[in-house]
Amino acid sequence: MSNKKETIEEAAANYANQELNNELTSKVGNFYSFSSSFIEGAEEQAKRMYTEKEVRKIVWESRLFFDDYENTPFSKMRKVFNKWFEQFKK
């Protein structure tokens, strides 16, 4: 396994070539459609990812959250925590 990182364009081209070499998928698309679909999917997935800075903020704020609710029964805390966590969803 190589440690070389591919650009999104290289990965899309590799994906498109694999699909074109597949007997089933080669009949339903072309290089452009496969590669552009790959790139669109990767971009959409990237929108849902968190940066390291965002993760650090969430972890830090969760520590503060738990400090505020340390004497709260678990059943109630779960509901409150889930509501608090919603603010970080993308």
pTM as predicted? 0.54
Task: Sketch the domain layout of the chain as residue ranges.
Answer: 8-47, 52-88
Asked if residue 16 lies in contact with residue 38, where contact means CB atoms within 8 angstroms, the answer is yes
Specify burial of residue 39 (Cβ count, 10 A radius: 0-12, 13-18, 19+).
middle
Asked if residue 34 lies in contact with residue 16, where contact means CB atoms within 8 angstroms, the answer is yes
Taking the chain (90 residues) in runs of 10, the rounded mean pLDDT of each run is: 78 91 83 92 90 89 80 81 84
The whole-number pLDDT of residue 4 equals: 75
- What's the gap between Cα 40 and its chain centre? 13
The whole-number pLDDT of residue 26 equals: 77
The whole-number pLDDT of residue 64 equals: 81
